[in-house]
Amino acid sequence: MSILAPDNALLKKAEVEAEQVVSLLRVAVSLGLLGMFYLAVAGSEIEPEHYLRRQWVFAVMTMVSYLLVGLGAFWMARTGRIRSWMVWLLVTVDCLFMLANTWVSLLNSGLPGELTFILPPTWLVPVILGFTVLRFNPYLQAYCVTFIAVGLAALSLWQPEEVTPFIVERAQNLLSGPPNIVRITMIALGGIVLVVAAWRTRRLVHQSISEAQQKANLNRYLPVQLTARLANTGLDELRRGSRQNMAVLFIDIRGFTRWSQGRDPQQVGDFITDFRSRVQGSADACGGMIDKFMGDAAMILFEGDTAAVRAVDCASGLAKSMVEWSDTRQAAKEDAVAVGIGLHWGEVFSGVVGDPQRLEYTVFGDTVNIAARLEQLTKQEQQGIIVSAAVLEAASVAPASQGWSPLPAAELRGRSGGIEIFGRR
């Protein structure tokens, strides 16, 4: 199952919220325009011309239609019915609403296209662009700008004619008090939309920074694989824990305590850094999760359908990497490196414990104890790796085919009977 990256999940959530906000703003714009339209024309004592009456009727019809679009879009966003392609359709509706109103105004008033920009509907452009900004989609924004620019350019070139006294008179009407009130209203509404866009952008950036800081803090205590899972399931889910089958691998440097005594701290630090780097590289290559480093030792976990296979591969890869490191050190006249690796497969309990200030991922159970004991047996049995028959069986590995030699059954404290094990030098 694929897991969304935290950043993508945050953007997905923002997109859903954006549609709800845009829909509410669309409703508010419609109601605001209807209110201003009523205030602008209701108190007028001058008998309007016939073309103005038609203009008013069309304006009311389109504003009511836009209100219904806003309510419908809000309902769909609220109920989770909005799909990605619908956002493009809604942006198209916004643009067409403005362009259609402008075109009908030109037709109704008989004005030439050169006077397109004195018509009140064109002042909706800032509002529409503000709606698109709220979606945080540059491609959608480019589409909206292109649509509006091309549409207005086409209207401005429509029906060019000389400016007559008739046209001057109607243009003066469009620059009178009521139309100017509508223009001021649309500028104010556009400003409100941009304020909302700026506020949501600031909130999203703040949330993203907070989550990045939280993730950075969690990475100090939890494996990287868990921080990604934490973003999707939440801390409570991980705290509840679970029982599952896992492969558990232990690796430890032999003779490290004796070797480090009396040495320069910088030399010891560099040595451990090289060791951990190689362990991390092998674990990453096989999809392992480093549960913890313990001085010169490490514990690696493998979960999932192919966990046993990856664990066996990791054990072999780790052994090879340590041999190469040892050869490199000896070539540089430094001490050789020897390690022991133990690997077992079985049921474990896993979960996160602690508070948000200090979380710790814990895996425990008989499987962990056996894996640790097998690593300790490597020195006694003079083997580089010791694995249980359980992990080879889970990985569908025939021991003889990959050079695994049977060893005497491991007798472990607290268990009746021995555990079948195999080794490799």
Q: Tell the residue number behind the tokens 């419908």, with chain if given.
A: 72
What backbone phi and psi angles, to 5 degrees, belong to 159?
Answer: 45, 60
Domains of the chain: 4-218 (no CATH), 224-424 (3.30.70.1230)
Q: What is the pLDDT of residue 195?
A: 86
Residue 6: predicted pLDDT: 45
Does residue 52 surpass a pLDDT of 50?
Answer: yes
The pLDDT score that the predictor gives to residue 272 is 92
Residues with Cβ within 8 Å of residue 155, at least 6 apart in sequence: 99, 102, 103, 106, 113, 116
Question: What's the pLDDT score for residue 327?
Answer: 92
pLDDT of res. 1: 35
The token pair at 15 is 């997109």
Could you please report the per-residue DSSP string of 189-201? HHHHHHHHHHHHH
Residue 63 and residue 98: Cα distance in Å, rounded? Answer: 10
User: Which residues are CB-neighbours of 114 under 8 A, at least 6 positions away?
Assistant: 156, 160
Q: What's the pLDDT tens digit per position in 196-222?
A: 878 877 877 777 776 666 655 555 555
- Report the interhelical angle of 307-331 vs 265-285 (nearest 10°): 140
Separation CA 390–CA 400 (nearest Å): 15
- Give the pLDDT of residue 150: 95
| Arithmetic mean of pLDDT, 46-75 | 75
CA atoms within 13 A on the CB side of 125: 17
Q: What is the C-alpha separation between 385 and 406, in angstroms, rounded?
A: 12
Give pLDDT, residue 382.
86
Sign of CA dihedral 404, 294, 324, 395: positive
Q: Looking at residues 405-419, what average pLDDT do you find?
A: 74
How do residues 285-332 score in pLDDT, each as one tens digit? Answer: 888 888 888 888 999 999 888 889 999 999 999 999 999 999 998 998
Return the residue matching tokens 């009140």.
Answer: 120
Q: How far is CA 242 from the centre of its chain?
A: 25
pLDDT at 143: 94
CA distance 118 to 288: 67
Tell me the backbone φ, ψ of residue 297, rounded to 5 degrees: -130, 165
Identify the helix (H) or strand (E) that includes residue 245.
Answer: strand 242-253
Q: How confident is the model at residue 4 (pLDDT cuts 50, 70, 90)?
A: very low
Summarize pLDDT for 226-264 with one digit per residue, the tens. 555 555 555 555 566 678 888 999 999 988 888 888 888
> Which has the closest alpha carbon to 107: 174, 48, 55?
55
Half-sphere exposure of 52 (CA within 13 A, CB side): 14
pLDDT in tens, 379-390: 888 888 998 889
